[in-house]
Amino acid sequence: MQTDWQQIRDMMNTVIDSCEQIENSGYGEAYRSARVSIDGRDYSVHEFLISAWTLPENIRYQIIQERHDQGASLPYVPESARALVAMAQACAELIGAGEKAPAQQAIKGMNHWYRQYAVPHIRSALEQAKKHGA
């Protein structure tokens, strides 16, 4: 099973960039009711923000349905998918945490663990297994 990691990276970067731009625009809870007119119809900031999480939820269900229709349903949640979701949830907790965000040492350690420990050792184990026909 192959994965288009660039598409996943593009999707994650899109939401990260969008959230950053919204925050940098000065968004706060008090501005939920701020409105903008588009083609003669008013939309609130809150409506856009609700769409910002329901749109990916809906696309997730579309992906699941189309995978099913193609006979490519997942029999289980892949480990890499679980890691991606867990990391997104951890990152979400840092939103609004300020410049001195919590858990900085743990985050540095985790990043080091992924890059310098887990991935290289997993790759090594897989290379050895493939050499020995496992």
pLDDT digits over 17-62, tens only? 999 999 999 999 999 999 999 999 999 999 999 999 999 999 999 9
Contact 84, 43 (CB under 8 A): no
pLDDT digits over 85-119, tens only? 999 999 999 999 988 889 999 999 999 999 999 99
Tell me the CA end-to-end span of the chain in Å, nearest whole number. 18
